Amino acid sequence: MTGALRQRWDRWLARRIPAAGSVQLNQRRIFILPSRVGVAFLLALLVMLLAAINYQSSLAYGLTFLLGSVFVVTILHTYRNLAGLVLHAGGAGAVFAGEAARLRVRLESRGRAHEAIALGWPPAELQQQDVPAQGSVECELTLQTQRRGWLQPGRLRVESRFPLGLLVAWSHVDLDQAVLVYPRPLEGELPLAAGGDEDDEQAGLVSQGQGSDDFQGLRTYQPGDSRRRMHWKAYSRGQGLLVKDFAAQCGRDLLLDFDALTGDLESRLSLLCHWVLVLSERQQPFALQLPNESLPVAIGERHREQCLRALALHGARG
């Protein structure tokens, strides 16, 4: 399908099946055509009909018309298996770029049972579900993410080939779903001391408030700790990787500053994303400074989500 035809088709679908969080399939929203098996079946019927005409065989006529009537009846049953099905959009949790987004869709029957309902986003393989009569079933669909921001999966394909597979009845519904995709975390050195020295400023960490750099002791090395804080003498004595702990880590708040970093936009956001996760895990207060946006010093799950959301949507239109 060319680009112009695709656009016209999308506009026609938008008018016929508008986006909604809940959609019930009816005659206006269901399309039906012979499947590949059905096309082969029709060709076989045509050959049988020509043979019956050529040999004037009543048995061949009878078999051809019998199989033809089976095909016609199958059209009705294939359509009825999809008609009346209700699709409800479920929740979708945020993910990091490169991970698979999980979107939930609930299928509901308000009448008869619906057998072997397949749904998904081509070209990925469709997931198949059976919906009991007067019941519902929830399925979780996966979609691979590539970049940060809002991921809108587009129209969901719902189809049925039940009962014989000779025809395929389908619909393209837009459940108005969206998934927030955070930047892909990029590991980098994370100095924990908030002394505001040259090392911290180069790393994009600027201290705020008062504090002291009193030595508190040694603790086990964690990924992201500054190598300048490592206690090499203890490592040489076979005591493992230890780092020096200072009071400033708890007495000062850190500022993750976008402008203090170098590199392209996505790499900066990915580094900040990594630091947001690390500092949140360590329960250390911090602030986030982005161009045209600033988040004050805070701590906790809500602050973590606000920072990640700001990173995901930085520069996004609307």
Do the Cβ atoms of 187 and 274 come closer than 8 Å?
A: yes
pTM given for the model? 0.73
**pLDDT in single tens digits along all 318 residues of the chain:** 677 888 888 888 889 999 899 999 999 999 999 999 999 999 999 999 999 999 888 999 999 999 999 999 999 999 999 999 999 998 888 999 999 999 999 999 998 999 999 999 988 889 999 999 999 999 999 999 999 999 999 899 999 999 999 999 999 999 999 999 999 998 876 534 333 444 444 444 444 443 334 455 677 776 656 666 677 777 677 777 777 665 444 445 688 888 888 888 999 999 999 999 988 888 889 889 898 888 898 889 999 999 999 999 998 754
| Rounded Cα–Cα distance for residues 118 and 170 (Å) | 9
| Buried b / exposed e along 92-102 (16+ C-beta atoms within 10 A) | beebbbeeebe
Residue 145, token pair as written in the block? 């993410």
Q: Which amino acid is at 40?
A: A
Q: Which amino acid is at 96?
A: F
Domain locations along the chain: 10-182, 254-313
| CA angle 181–182–183, rounded 5-degree value | 120
